[in-house]
Amino acid sequence: MAITTLAELSAEVPASGGTVDVLSSEARRLDALLHQFRLLSPPPPAPAEPLNIADTLPSLVEFAGKHPDVGGIPCDIRMTANVQPAFIDASLPVRVVPTLLVAAARAARRVGAHRVQIDVSGDARWVVVGFAVGDAGGTGGPGEDLAHGAPAMQITDSAQGARYELLLPTLAAARRRDRSSS
């Protein structure tokens, strides 16, 4: 805040054009760094709430990119259209997505892949966030034996590649479950 205030005060002085640019740039950089530090200490577990994973995924991928095992490996994010909101504790992706991305980056190095493909898809019951490297086959989607309403992970790992999937229950599935239990 002090640097932002100095930048604003310097903007009022006619001969301080370069100083204003430097201070403003530094203020933006520090704000981004503060946001990432806040991701390091997520809040305690909270009740489930609707969350659009597409809104949070890019910043979590950027955050995980600071890890030395992820740095230098490009990550492509593909979002399937009309993915439903997940119904989860909002801090869960903050804790799990960076961990899965680090695991995928390590697998990419192991199999000689040059990038991590992150895809978000889903159906009426699940939002699926997948991290794939190499020639890993899919896990076949959520199994019928998964408990409805509880987030889950599925992993496929081979000598040719790896795929890590985070399965998040949808808001619609949570509403159906609540209606059927009452």
52-58 average pLDDT score: 93
As assigned by CATH, the class of the 49-179 domain is: alpha beta
SS3 167: strand
Q: What is the pTM of this model?
A: 0.73
pLDDT tens by residue, 131-172? 999 987 665 556 555 656 688 899 999 889 999 999 999 998
Domain residue spans of the chain? 2-40, 49-179
Q: Give the residue among 118, 104, 120 at the shortest CA–CA distance from 52.
A: 120
HEC sequence for 65-92: CCCCCCCCCCEEEEECCCCCCEEECCCH
CB 23 within 8 A of CB 10: yes
118-136 average pLDDT score: 92
Average pLDDT, the chain: 85
Q: Give the residue among 152, 171, 153 at the shortest CA–CA distance from 162.
A: 153
How far is 116 from 5, CA to CA, in rounded Å?
A: 40
Q: Give the residue among 49, 31, 141 at the shortest CA–CA distance from 91.
A: 49
pLDDT tens by residue, 15-42? 666 777 888 888 888 888 787 777 667 6
At 10 the pLDDT is: 74
107-129 average pLDDT score: 93
